[in-house]
């Protein structure tokens, strides 16, 4: 397979970061730094397994969402099979933890196999690294308002909406949870997650790229 790995954020866009709290024993982690570390290790793992890999960035630089998504159209030899965007979550509640993934719910080429790709990634990361399974979620998602009208509840994700291959955005864990953040920065934990992601990609490929 040919896999595009997208380390989220970069450059002037730091993404989420760990909380500044009294018990902290290391500087707050920036999402952009961690996504790149995981992406580079994932590239090595996938190449070792015989796959071809393209990264949307290799250094701490800003890459626009348009350029990330457009890469799925530019690659031709061979064309990409899937697009995986790596991210870390954060929220206002410091106890929330776990792994989740988003997939495109818009009627274009990235939507049909995006859900099973997202499911395979989460399932295999949870199995390998022991994180909590928070599930997979469509973007955009919809709900009924008070007038009974169908409206957008959660907006689309640009790189998922505009990718021209099967795509998923993986939220590996929560930087806003200090205990989980300590795991996320651990090289051994990163190795387990990377193995899980690679297993998930291969599991999806065996079933859907026949």
Is the overall model pTM greater than 0.85, yes or no? yes
Q: Hey, what are 112's tokens?
A: 């049909």
Q: Is the pLDDT of residue 9 over 60?
A: yes
The pairing of beta strand 141-144 with beta strand 82-89: unpaired
Question: End-to-end distance of the chain based on CA atoms, in angstroms?
Answer: 11
List all residues 6 or more positions away from 62 whose beta carbon is below 8 Å from its beta carbon.
10, 11, 12, 13
Q: Where are the alpha helices (DSSP H) in 83-186?
A: 114-129, 158-162, 178-184
Q: What is the CATH number of the domain that holds 44?
A: 3.40.630.40
**Mean pLDDT along residues 39-58:** 98
Q: Which domain holds residue 198?
A: 2-208
What's the CA gap between 104 and 140, in Å, rounded? Answer: 7
Closest CA to 159 of 57, 84, 100: 84
For residue 201, the model assigns a pLDDT of 98
Q: How much is the mean pLDDT over the chain?
A: 92
Instruction: Quote the DSSP letter at residue 27.
Output: P
- How many domains are there within the chain? 1
CA-CA-CA-CA torsion sign (143, 131, 5, 7): positive
Q: Tell me: the pLDDT tens digits for 76-89?
A: 778 899 999 999 99
């Amino acid at each position: 397979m040919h896999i595009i790995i997208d380390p989220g954020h970069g450059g002037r866009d730091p993404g989420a970061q760990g909380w500044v709290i009294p018990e902290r024993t290391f500087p707050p982690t920036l999402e952009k730094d961690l996504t790149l570390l995981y992406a580079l290790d994932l590239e090595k793992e996938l190449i070792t397994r015989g796959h071809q890999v393209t990264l949307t960035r290799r250094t701490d630089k800003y890459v626009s969402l348009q350029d990330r998504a457009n890469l799925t159209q530019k690659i031709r030899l061979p064309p990409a099979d899937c697009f995986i965007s790596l991210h870390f979550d954060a929220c206002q509640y410091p106890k929330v933890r776990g792994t989740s993934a988003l997939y495109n719910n818009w009627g274009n080429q990235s939507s049909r196999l995006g859900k099973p790709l997202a499911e395979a990634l989460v399932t295999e990361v949870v199995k390998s690294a022991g994180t909590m399974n928070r599930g997979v979620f469509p973007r955009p998602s919809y709900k009924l308002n008070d007038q009974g009208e169908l409206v957008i509840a959660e907006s689309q994700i640009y790189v998922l909406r505009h990718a021209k291959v099967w795509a998923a955005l993986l939220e590996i864990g929560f930087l806003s949870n200090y205990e989980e953040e300590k795991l996320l920065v651990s090289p051994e934990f990163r190795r387990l997650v990377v193995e899980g992601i690679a297993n998930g990609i291969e599991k999806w490929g065996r079933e859907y790229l026949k």
